[in-house]
Structure 1
Amino acid sequence: MTNETLTSASVEILRYAAFTSDPAGGNPAGVVLDAAGLDDAGMLAVAAEVGYSETAFVTAGDAASRRFRLRYFSPLAEVAFCGHATVATAVALAERLGPGALTFDTPVGEIPVTTTADGRGAVRATLTSAPTHSRPAQDAELDAALAALGWAREDLDPALPPHVAFGGNEHLVLAAGTRARLARLSYDFDALAEVMRSRGWTTVQLVHRENERLFHARDPFPVGGVVEDPATGAAAAALGGYLRAVGEVGRPLTIHVRQGEDMGRPSDLVVDVDPADARVRVTGGAVSMV
């Protein structure tokens, strides 16, 4: 796919793969750097036409101060926050303005982002999440989610209890006891979407802990009209907050999240968690899909 102009809305749509350096990997995001002329219906129509899990829209901003207002839409609805589209937008802006600090005003508040470029010009972005929080999943909501997934409680890792975690959006966090269980993902799309809509969850963050610093993740996103996200920055931030909340982070820790492997779109997310800080930092690259 190439960058294109949507003539019906007179906006340029950029297409980036986030949390990867390979256009064939990562999570595709649409980016509209000048969406000032679009209303809510127009942004939703653009997101539906693009068809990715999210498209980010810069609705206002100032290049001199490097501060921009950002909104996110899935093909079905507005989303309060999206990590991979934030990274994609930050990289797109840094490629045009130069690397450095950016500030995004989003529906969940101010999101600071730093961007850096290596000697070859490849840009990476680090977003600082909204303050995270996490609570134990209730039995009824857990059982409903497991039934829709086709999982049993015995499939879960007893060392990592089910939680509902927030890092800009709420995500149900379920840790699989084995990598093989995580790889076998075939769920009831409509049933899981209904469970998620009734509780306000954006994705279900399914993870397997290989070791203290490496997690594998899969993220069903039926409420956005997408079977699975190959990289989910907001869920990665929520995961970092969850690990802090359940006492798994006793010192500043860098965690690598591998996502999209089972979809054929491998993604790398770097998550920095400090037990003294409710905010989590998520880092990744993005590359144009021209």
Structure 2
Amino acid sequence: MEAQLYFFNVFTDKPKSGNPAACALLSYWPAPDVLQAIASEAKQVVTAFIVPIADAPSQYQIRWFSCVQEINLCGHGTLAAAALVRQLKGEGCYQFLSQHGELEVTASFAALQMILPQWFACPETQTELPPALLACQSIDYFQTRDLVLVLADEQAVQQFQPDFALIQQLKQHALIVTAFSSPDTYVLRYFAPRIGINEDIATGSAQCSLAPYWFKKTGRTEFKVRQLSLTDASFSVAINTQQLLLQTQAVNLPHLTRLVATTA
């Protein structure tokens, strides 16, 4: 069997910026090694695969793969999936279900708005920082799924020098460095060499940790977010006690669409 593999730039409304992703709508789940082979050949930061749920026209099962392994709760892969469903079915509210949780995206042609879970620091599981990270002179740190270093300012985040060998040895999923930039913006960088992504361009799941933290620190409920990677990407988040909402856009790259085999 074959399926169409579509390509998108996410966290942007411009074809030459944002975070690249691929997505395929499948009728069934192939073997994991087939999905991994497709993702490896696609050579995108992430490839998302979705399968419709019977008798639930707005619901899909979803899995995400980097070039080297399956990953969990990928925001930008989910946004690519929502952009694909919007392209094929039109505007709507779509749910994407995985073994790591459910994500909901309201997909209009003007924007993609995703509901994300909120992850809070767990003091009882606080970790000791490796000496090399202590040398970064962070003003705070905490862990959720990821290890988060809070630095003094935007310049410190921009100038942070990642040691990928060290980061790969961390027990957490990834390392995030962040700082607040007055009056309404926080910045970040995201490093995940354990899953084959040395530095991500734009990371939806990072906001699950950062937005609750900065809400608690500043009292603000709406933030502009800038990820200080080499490629321009932008989005906004709004937070309250019940929901975390991320809003952005995605651009289809039709010239890259191609057929892929879904059987070994």
Calculate the TM-score normalised by the size of structure 1.
0.80
> For the residues of structure 2 that align with 1:77 and 1:212, how far apart are their CA atoms?
39
Distance 1:20 1:106, change over 3 A: same
Q: Partner residue of 1:211?
A: 182
- Matching residue within 237, 242, 250 for 1:271: 237
CA distance in 1, matches of 2:127, 2:103: 33
Q: What pairs up with 1:176-195 in 2 under 5 angstroms?
A: 176-195=151-170
CA distance in 2, matches of 1:37, 1:153: 44
Q: Distance in 2 between matches of 1:221 and 1:241?
A: 21
Aligned partner of 1:22 among 3, 14, 17: 14
2:141 to 151, 154, 162: 162
1:65 aligns with 2:53: no
Following TM superposition, the consecutive aligned residue runs of length 4 or more in structure 1 with deviations greater than 6 angstroms are none
1:282–1:92: structure 2 CA closer, same or farther, 3 Å change rule?
same
Cα 1:35–1:84, aligned 2, differ >3 Å: closer, same or farther? farther
Shift of 1:212: 4.6
Given that 1:29 and 1:85 are in contact with CA atoms closer than 8 Å, whether structure 2 keeps it comes out as yes
1:87 paired residue among 79, 86, 99:
79
Structure 2 residue corresponding to 1:242, chosen from 178, 202, 213: 213
Unaligned runs of 5+ residues in structure 1 are 1-8, 119-123
Query: In the TM superposition, what whole-angstrom CA distance separates every residue of 1:24-77 from its partner, at most 9, and x where no partner exists?
Result: 211111111126252111111111112222111013335962111111111222
CA distance in 2: counterparts of 1:262 and 1:54, whole angstroms: 16
Q: C-alpha separation between the residues in 1 aligned to 2:238 and 2:194? A: 28
Q: Displacement of 1:248 after TM fit?
A: 2.1
- Is the 1:236–1:269 contact (alpha carbons within 8 Å) kept by the matching residues of 2? no
Once residues 49 and 31 of structure 2 are traced to their aligned partners in structure 1, the CA distance between those partners, rounded to angstroms, is 11
Unaligned runs of 5+ in 2: 256-264
1:48 pairs with one of 34, 40, 51: 40
- Bigger shift: residues 126-135 or 16-25: 126-135
Identity among equivalent positions (%) equals 25
The answer to whether the 8 A contact 2:7-2:20 is kept is: yes
Deviation readout 1:127-146 (Å, 9 max, x if unpaired): 11234322247352x225xx
- Are the counterparts in 1 of residues 157 and 178 from structure 2 also a CA contact under 8 Å? yes
Give the distance between the partners of 1:176 and 1:77, measured in 2 at CA: 30
- For 2:155 and 2:197, the matched residues in 1 are separated by 23
Given the superposition, is the C-alpha separation of residues 35 and 181 from structure 1 closer, same or farther in structure 2, using an over 3 Å criterion?
Answer: farther
Call closer, same or farther: CA 1:51–1:26 in 2, change over 3 Å.
same
Structure 1 vs Structure 2 CA RMSD: 2.2
Structure 1, residues 200-250: CA drift from partner, whole Å, max 9, x if none?
Answer: x33212112112520121111201212210100000222113334xx2254
Distance between the aligned counterparts of 1:94 and 1:138, measured in 2?
Answer: 41
What TM-score comes out, normalization by structure 2 length? 0.87
Number of equivalent positions: 253
